[in-house]
Chains A and B, each alone.
Chain A
Protein backbone atom coordinates (compact mmCIF):
# COMPACT_ATOMS: atom_id res chain seq x y z
CA UNK A 1 0.00 0.00 0.00
CA UNK A 2 1.39 3.33 -1.09
CA UNK A 3 0.61 5.45 1.96
CA UNK A 4 2.34 3.10 4.36
CA UNK A 5 5.44 3.18 2.14
CA UNK A 6 5.39 6.98 2.00
CA UNK A 7 5.24 7.12 5.79
CA UNK A 8 8.20 4.73 5.96
CA UNK A 9 10.16 6.84 3.46
CA UNK A 10 9.55 10.07 5.38
CA UNK A 11 10.28 8.24 8.64
CA UNK A 12 13.61 6.89 7.36
CA UNK A 13 14.61 10.41 6.32
CA UNK A 14 13.69 11.71 9.78
CA UNK A 15 15.81 8.98 11.38
CA UNK A 16 18.75 9.80 9.11
CA UNK A 17 18.49 13.52 9.86
CA UNK A 18 18.33 12.73 13.58
CA UNK A 19 21.59 10.79 13.29
CA UNK A 20 23.07 13.78 11.48
CA UNK A 21 21.89 16.16 14.23
CA UNK A 22 23.30 13.75 16.77
CA UNK A 23 26.78 13.84 15.22
CA UNK A 24 26.60 17.64 14.96
CA UNK A 25 25.73 17.87 18.66
CA UNK A 26 28.57 15.51 19.50
CA UNK A 27 31.03 17.49 17.36
CA UNK A 28 30.00 20.85 18.80
CA UNK A 29 30.03 19.55 22.35
CA UNK A 30 33.57 18.24 21.91
CA UNK A 31 34.88 21.17 19.88
CA UNK A 32 37.10 22.31 22.75
CA UNK A 33 38.08 18.93 24.22
CA UNK A 34 41.86 19.03 24.28
CA UNK A 35 44.00 15.88 24.26
CA UNK A 36 47.61 15.12 25.10
CA UNK A 37 48.39 13.12 21.95
CA UNK A 38 47.29 13.37 18.34
CA UNK A 39 45.73 9.91 18.42
CA UNK A 40 43.56 10.72 21.45
CA UNK A 41 42.19 13.94 20.00
CA UNK A 42 38.49 13.91 19.14
CA UNK A 43 37.80 13.83 15.42
CA UNK A 44 34.64 15.23 13.81
CA UNK A 45 32.08 12.56 12.91
CA UNK A 46 29.95 12.60 9.77
CA UNK A 47 27.13 10.22 8.81
CA UNK A 48 27.12 8.71 5.30
CA UNK A 49 23.67 8.50 3.71
CA UNK A 50 22.59 6.15 0.94
CA UNK A 51 19.24 5.62 -0.77
CA UNK A 52 17.51 2.23 -0.74
CA UNK A 53 15.00 1.54 -3.50
CA UNK A 54 12.00 -0.59 -2.55
CA UNK A 55 9.07 -1.98 -4.49
CA UNK A 56 8.84 -1.42 -8.21
CA UNK A 57 7.92 -3.22 -11.38
CA UNK A 58 7.18 -6.61 -9.77
CA UNK A 59 4.15 -5.36 -7.78
CA UNK A 60 3.11 -2.93 -10.52
CA UNK A 61 4.05 0.19 -8.59
CA UNK A 62 6.91 2.64 -8.79
CA UNK A 63 9.95 2.23 -6.58
CA UNK A 64 10.19 4.44 -3.52
CA UNK A 65 13.55 5.36 -2.06
CA UNK A 66 14.23 5.19 1.67
CA UNK A 67 17.26 6.80 3.26
CA UNK A 68 19.73 4.58 5.05
CA UNK A 69 22.61 5.64 7.29
CA UNK A 70 25.45 3.49 5.97
CA UNK A 71 28.05 4.47 8.50
CA UNK A 72 29.35 7.28 10.68
CA UNK A 73 32.89 8.11 9.60
CA UNK A 74 35.53 10.21 11.32
CA UNK A 75 36.95 13.22 9.54
CA UNK A 76 40.58 12.74 8.44
CA UNK A 77 41.37 16.42 8.42
CA UNK A 78 44.42 17.23 10.56
CA UNK A 79 43.69 18.05 14.20
CA UNK A 80 44.52 21.52 15.46
CA UNK A 81 47.78 21.82 17.43
CA UNK A 82 48.29 24.55 19.98
CA UNK A 83 51.36 25.41 21.99
CA UNK A 84 50.05 25.73 25.54
CA UNK A 85 52.75 24.65 28.02
CA UNK A 86 50.51 25.59 30.98
CA UNK A 87 47.77 23.21 29.92
CA UNK A 88 47.49 20.18 32.23
CA UNK A 89 47.31 17.85 29.19
CA UNK A 90 50.29 19.34 27.34
CA UNK A 91 52.95 16.85 26.19
CA UNK A 92 56.72 17.21 26.69
CA UNK A 93 56.92 19.91 23.99
CA UNK A 94 54.06 21.86 25.54
CA UNK A 95 51.70 20.96 22.67
CA UNK A 96 48.02 20.14 23.11
CA UNK A 97 45.78 18.74 20.38
CA UNK A 98 42.35 20.17 19.71
CA UNK A 99 39.63 18.42 17.63
CA UNK A 100 39.36 19.09 13.88
CA UNK A 101 35.79 20.36 14.37
CA UNK A 102 34.79 23.39 12.32
CA UNK A 103 32.03 25.06 14.40
CA UNK A 104 30.75 27.21 11.52
CA UNK A 105 30.37 24.18 9.23
CA UNK A 106 28.69 22.27 12.08
CA UNK A 107 26.19 25.08 12.65
CA UNK A 108 25.19 25.22 8.99
CA UNK A 109 24.97 21.43 8.94
CA UNK A 110 22.68 21.60 11.97
CA UNK A 111 20.36 24.11 10.29
CA UNK A 112 20.28 22.02 7.14
CA UNK A 113 19.51 18.84 9.08
CA UNK A 114 16.73 20.38 11.16
CA UNK A 115 15.14 21.95 8.09
CA UNK A 116 15.24 18.62 6.24
CA UNK A 117 13.68 16.94 9.29
CA UNK A 118 10.85 19.50 9.39
CA UNK A 119 10.20 19.05 5.67
CA UNK A 120 9.72 15.33 6.15
CA UNK A 121 7.40 15.94 9.10
CA UNK A 122 5.31 18.13 6.78
CA UNK A 123 5.29 15.39 4.14
CA UNK A 124 4.04 12.91 6.71
CA UNK A 125 1.31 15.28 7.90
CA UNK A 126 0.14 15.92 4.37
CA UNK A 127 0.08 12.23 3.49
CA UNK A 128 -1.95 11.55 6.64
CA UNK A 129 -4.50 14.16 5.48
CA UNK A 130 -4.67 12.51 2.05
CA UNK A 131 -5.22 9.09 3.59
CA UNK A 132 -7.94 10.36 5.91
CA UNK A 133 -9.82 12.08 3.12
CA UNK A 134 -9.55 8.88 1.08
CA UNK A 135 -11.17 7.01 3.99
CA UNK A 136 -14.07 9.47 3.93
CA UNK A 137 -14.72 8.68 0.24
CA UNK A 138 -18.40 8.00 -0.37
CA UNK A 139 -19.55 9.38 2.96
CA UNK A 140 -22.39 11.90 3.22
Chain B
Protein backbone atom coordinates (compact mmCIF):
# COMPACT_ATOMS: atom_id res chain seq x y z
CA UNK B 1 0.00 0.00 0.00
CA UNK B 2 1.50 3.31 -1.08
CA UNK B 3 0.78 6.85 -0.12
CA UNK B 4 -0.63 9.08 -2.85
CA UNK B 5 1.10 12.33 -1.96
CA UNK B 6 -1.12 14.41 -4.23
CA UNK B 7 -4.18 13.22 -2.36
CA UNK B 8 -2.52 13.36 1.05
CA UNK B 9 -1.37 16.96 0.68
CA UNK B 10 -4.65 18.24 -0.73
CA UNK B 11 -4.74 21.59 -2.50
CA UNK B 12 -2.03 23.20 -0.36
CA UNK B 13 0.87 22.76 -2.84
CA UNK B 14 -1.22 24.41 -5.58
CA UNK B 15 -2.26 27.19 -3.21
CA UNK B 16 1.37 27.78 -2.29
CA UNK B 17 2.42 28.00 -5.92
CA UNK B 18 -0.43 30.37 -6.68
CA UNK B 19 0.50 32.53 -3.68
CA UNK B 20 4.07 32.77 -4.99
CA UNK B 21 2.81 33.78 -8.45
CA UNK B 22 0.52 36.37 -6.92
CA UNK B 23 3.46 37.76 -4.94
CA UNK B 24 5.19 38.37 -8.25
CA UNK B 25 2.20 40.28 -9.65
CA UNK B 26 1.87 42.40 -6.50
CA UNK B 27 5.64 43.06 -6.41
CA UNK B 28 5.39 44.20 -10.04
CA UNK B 29 2.59 46.59 -9.11
CA UNK B 30 4.62 48.04 -6.24
CA UNK B 31 7.76 48.28 -8.39
CA UNK B 32 5.90 50.20 -11.11
CA UNK B 33 4.33 52.66 -8.69
CA UNK B 34 5.85 55.63 -10.54
CA UNK B 35 5.85 54.28 -14.11
CA UNK B 36 3.48 56.36 -16.27
CA UNK B 37 0.69 54.34 -17.86
CA UNK B 38 1.34 51.15 -15.87
CA UNK B 39 -1.85 49.29 -15.08
CA UNK B 40 -1.96 47.37 -11.84
CA UNK B 41 -2.97 43.70 -12.13
CA UNK B 42 -4.05 40.94 -9.81
CA UNK B 43 -5.59 37.50 -9.97
CA UNK B 44 -8.89 36.32 -8.52
CA UNK B 45 -7.26 33.85 -6.15
CA UNK B 46 -10.31 31.75 -5.29
CA UNK B 47 -11.49 31.18 -8.86
CA UNK B 48 -7.96 30.59 -10.20
CA UNK B 49 -7.25 28.03 -7.46
CA UNK B 50 -10.57 26.33 -8.18
CA UNK B 51 -9.76 26.09 -11.89
CA UNK B 52 -6.23 24.79 -11.20
CA UNK B 53 -7.49 22.15 -8.75
CA UNK B 54 -10.34 21.00 -11.01
CA UNK B 55 -8.12 20.93 -14.09
CA UNK B 56 -6.57 17.50 -13.40
CA UNK B 57 -3.53 16.77 -15.54
CA UNK B 58 -3.79 20.09 -17.34
CA UNK B 59 -0.80 21.99 -18.69
CA UNK B 60 0.09 23.51 -15.32
CA UNK B 61 -1.00 26.98 -14.37
CA UNK B 62 -2.47 28.83 -17.32
CA UNK B 63 -2.66 32.07 -15.41
CA UNK B 64 -1.86 34.69 -17.97
CA UNK B 65 -5.40 35.04 -19.21
CA UNK B 66 -6.67 35.23 -15.64
CA UNK B 67 -4.59 38.22 -14.55
CA UNK B 68 -7.19 40.95 -14.21
CA UNK B 69 -6.74 44.70 -14.13
CA UNK B 70 -7.22 46.55 -10.88
CA UNK B 71 -9.95 49.19 -10.81
CA UNK B 72 -8.42 52.24 -9.09
CA UNK B 73 -10.28 54.22 -6.46
CA UNK B 74 -8.67 57.46 -7.62
CA UNK B 75 -7.44 57.34 -11.23
CA UNK B 76 -4.29 59.39 -11.80
CA UNK B 77 -3.56 61.72 -14.67
CA UNK B 78 -0.71 59.68 -16.20
CA UNK B 79 -2.77 56.49 -16.55
CA UNK B 80 -0.97 54.67 -13.72
CA UNK B 81 -3.47 52.66 -11.67
CA UNK B 82 -1.18 51.61 -8.80
CA UNK B 83 -2.41 52.68 -5.38
CA UNK B 84 0.39 51.99 -2.96
CA UNK B 85 -1.81 51.47 0.10
CA UNK B 86 -3.97 48.92 -1.68
CA UNK B 87 -0.97 47.07 -3.10
CA UNK B 88 0.93 47.04 0.20
CA UNK B 89 -2.10 45.68 2.03
CA UNK B 90 -2.61 43.00 -0.63
CA UNK B 91 1.09 42.09 -0.59
CA UNK B 92 1.17 41.81 3.18
CA UNK B 93 -2.00 39.71 3.30
CA UNK B 94 -0.72 37.49 0.51
CA UNK B 95 2.60 36.93 2.32
CA UNK B 96 0.72 35.92 5.49
CA UNK B 97 -1.47 33.56 3.47
CA UNK B 98 1.68 32.06 1.95
CA UNK B 99 3.00 31.32 5.44
CA UNK B 100 -0.36 29.83 6.37
CA UNK B 101 -0.34 27.47 3.39
CA UNK B 102 3.24 26.57 4.27
CA UNK B 103 2.26 25.78 7.85
CA UNK B 104 -0.61 23.57 6.67
CA UNK B 105 1.74 21.75 4.33
CA UNK B 106 4.25 21.26 7.12
CA UNK B 107 1.57 19.81 9.39
CA UNK B 108 0.47 17.41 6.66
CA UNK B 109 4.06 16.29 6.11
CA UNK B 110 4.55 15.75 9.83
CA UNK B 111 1.40 13.65 9.90
CA UNK B 112 2.67 11.55 7.00
CA UNK B 113 6.07 11.13 8.65
CA UNK B 114 4.38 9.84 11.79
CA UNK B 115 2.25 7.44 9.75
CA UNK B 116 5.34 6.14 7.93
CA UNK B 117 7.40 5.63 11.09
CA UNK B 118 4.41 3.94 12.76
CA UNK B 119 4.09 6.15 15.81
The chain A residues found within 8 Å of chain B, CB to CB, are 2-3, 5-6, 9-10, 12-13, 16-17, 20, 48-51, 56-57, 60-67, 112-113, 116, 119-120, 123, 126-127, 129-130, 133-134, 137-138
Is residue B116 within 8 Å, beta carbon to beta carbon, of the partner chain?
no
A-B contact pairs, 18 of them (CB 8 A): A2-B20, A2-B21, A5-B24, A12-B31, A13-B30, A13-B31, A13-B32, A49-B34, A57-B62, A61-B61, A63-B64, A64-B24, A64-B25, A67-B31, A116-B33, A126-B91, A126-B95, A129-B95
| Nearest chain B residue, comparing its CB with the CB of A115 | B84
CB distance from A101 to the nearest CB of B (A): 19
Contact residues in B for A62 (Cβ distance below 8 Å): 21, 24-25, 43, 63-64, 67
Q: Mark B24-62, 1 if CB is under 8 A from A, else 0.
A: 110111111111101000010000000000000001111
> Given the complex of chains A and B, what is the CA–CA distance between A49 and B105 in angstroms?
40
B20 lies within 8 A of A3 (CB): yes
Top 10 nearest A-B pairs by Cβ distance? Answer: A13-B31, A65-B28, A60-B60, A57-B64, A49-B35, A2-B20, A62-B63, A64-B24, A6-B27, A64-B28
The residue from B36, B84, B105 contacting A137, defined by CB atoms under 8 A apart: B105
Is residue B11 within 8 Å, beta carbon to beta carbon, of the partner chain?
no
The residue from B21, B28, B61 contacting A9, defined by CB atoms under 8 A apart: B28
A9 lies within 8 A of B102 (CB): no
Contact residues in A for B105 (Cβ distance below 8 Å): 137
Is residue B76 within 8 Å, beta carbon to beta carbon, of the partner chain?
no
Contacts A13-B30, A13-B32, A17-B34 given; 10 further ones with Cβ under 8 A?
A: A2-B20, A6-B27, A49-B36, A57-B64, A60-B60, A60-B61, A61-B24, A63-B64, A64-B28, A116-B33
| Nearest chain A residue, comparing its CB with the CB of B43 | A62
CB distance from B92 to the nearest CB of A (A): 8
A127 lies within 8 A of B31 (CB): no
Contacts A20-B34, A49-B34, A116-B34; is A61 near B27 (CB within 8 Å)?
no
CB distance from A59 to the nearest CB of B (A): 9
A127 lies within 8 A of B102 (CB): no
Contacts A9-B28, A62-B21, A64-B25; is A137 near B34 (CB within 8 Å)?
no
